[in-house]
Structure 1
Amino acid sequence: MASFHHGDAMAMCVTGATGYIGSWLVQSLLKKGYLVHATARDLDKARQVLSNLGGNGKLKIFKADLDEEGSFDEAVKGCIGVFHVAASMEFNCDANQNIESSMLEPALKGTTNLLQSCSKVGSVKRVIFTSSISTITAKDENGEWIHKVDESCLNPANLVWKKRPSGWVYVLSKLLTEQKAFQFANEKGIDLVSIIPPTVAGPFLTPDVPTSLQVLLSPITGDPKLFPILAAVHARLGSIPLVHIEDICNAHIFLMEHVEAEGRYICSATSCAMAQLIEILSFKYPSCSPKRISEDHYEKIPSIICSMKLTSLGFKFCYDLADIIKHSVASCSESGFLKTF
């Protein structure tokens, strides 16, 4: 891949630009001087979320739908890089749904449609695929804890199908779409790099509180649907890995710009045991936690979620656990999602 830098005012495309990561990534790219092609299914929502970011004419918004072949042709035209952030945040399903036809096939088709557009236009030098820590497990094939968890510790799709833990549909979708993305990219000669975010938290630009923030704060909101998802993460990884929204977006751009980047990259700034997270949320922010969940029965597992592959390239995290929780609680309090009592 040829080297390029943000000072060259080159164009970057961001799919899913109305989402949590997508909207913040658009903002981060504009601040670095890039031209940005932001895509969304709903143009009105995109204008609502992105209109205050300025950009001095450097932001263009395109209507595009992953379900429609050729839908991204115009959006990626002239772009040197594409960030594929768009994804369904569907965690579970009802018993009568056909998972393959209703969720998995559209997700796979959407990824193929986007990469087909990238292949067609010829200008795209690299695609950054936003994966998920749900594709990673801290347990080996015998169910034993792995001490150092890296990009090779894949969560087996057949076990997800079999056990169907909380949030399993999202897990399966991410596993299969990332696999499909690399397969298609290899066939078409596309330079594709995958970034693996853990639970993303901090401030947000979206009108609604992002799902990942709602999951993180479920110990103090007592949300009966989202807390099991947090518990499932802890059960699979032995801790809750976290990253600040600003760090994850900077990491996306870092991997786009770094010539030597290849394959998959875990981007986790810190991890904390469930008991530690509940303790911090409950005792540091007691006015927000009338429904707090007991921290009992959550053992601390010494698995290290390793971001060394990313940091060895020179990437540095700016925010730690205290920052992430502080900024998350503050932004959710300002939005009215967290009410003090």
Structure 2
Amino acid sequence: MLWPCRWTHLPYIPTSGAMFLSMLTQEEIPCNSLKFLEELNGKVPIVHIEDVSEAHMFFMNNVGSLNGRFLCASSFVSTAEIGNYYQHNYPEFKVNQEYLNDPKREIKWGSKKLVEKGFVFKYGMKEILDDCVIWARKKDIL
């Protein structure tokens, strides 16, 4: 997930942002992509670009003690959690009721290994989704 402040120079909305905003914009293709990602993983992994950068530096500073693959996502959320967050915090937008039904899936992968090694995420779902809305308002998308 890219941090919206980093998007200001782009002439288009990044796919990740379009997917999260699709709950509010009612755009079918990015919303279906979000639902597919949830179906594939159990939940939607999200991460702030600054946390990704920090994770890269964390690995460079601990190169001798870390090996293997690590997933980097601060939150694993359902599309229903995203929709409910938007509905509760941005009531001026209408979230499609079908997005609010939570099938209660478990995640298949996680960032537990990264956290166990000592990495701390700074941004969670709230900050990431709020940044998407702030950016979209500035760009007159919402």
Q: TM-score range by the shorter chain?
A: 0.7 to 0.9
Does 2:91 match 1:286? yes
- Contact 1:215 1:230 (C-alpha < 8 Å) held by counterparts: yes
Distance (Å, rounded) in 2 between the aligned partners of 1:229 and 1:245 = 20
Q: Distance in 2 between matches of 1:252 and 1:302?
A: 27
- The reply to whether residue 218 of structure 1 matches residue 22 of structure 2 is yes
Aligned-partner SS, 2:47 = strand
Aligned residues: 137
Query: Gaps spanning 5+ residues in structure 2: where?
Result: none
* Bigger strand share: 1
Distance 1:316 1:243, change over 3 A: same
Match of 1:331 among 132, 135, 138: 135
Give the share of equivalent positions with the same residue, in percent.
Answer: 27
CA gap of 1:336–1:313, structure 2 versus 1, over 3 A, is: same
1:266 aligns with 2:67: no
Please state how far the C-alpha of 1:217 moved relative to its aligned partner: 1.3
1:202 aligns with 2:8: no
From the CA coordinates, give the structure whose radius of gyration is larger: 1
Local SS of the residue matching 2:106: coil
How far apart, in 1, do the equivalents of 2:68 and 2:141 lie?
37
Task: Give yes or no for the alignment of 1:254 onto 2:64.
Answer: no
Within 5 Å, which residues of 2 pair with 1:129-140?
A: none
Q: How far did residue 297 of structure 1 move?
A: 4.5
1:118-197 alignment to 2 at 5 Å?
A: none
Stretches of structure 1 that go unaligned for 5 or more consecutive residues are 1-199
Q: 1:228 aligns with which of 17, 24, 32?
A: 32
Query: TM-score, normalized by length of structure 2?
Result: 0.83
What is the TM-score normalised by the length of structure 1?
0.37
2:103 counterpart of 1:302: no
Aligned counterpart, 1:19: none
Distance, in Å, in 2 between the alignment partners of 1:305 and 1:326 is: 25
Structure with the higher fraction of residues in helix conformation: 2
What is the Cα-based RMSD across aligned positions, in Å?
A: 1.9
Q: Give 1:268 deviation, angstroms.
A: 1.1
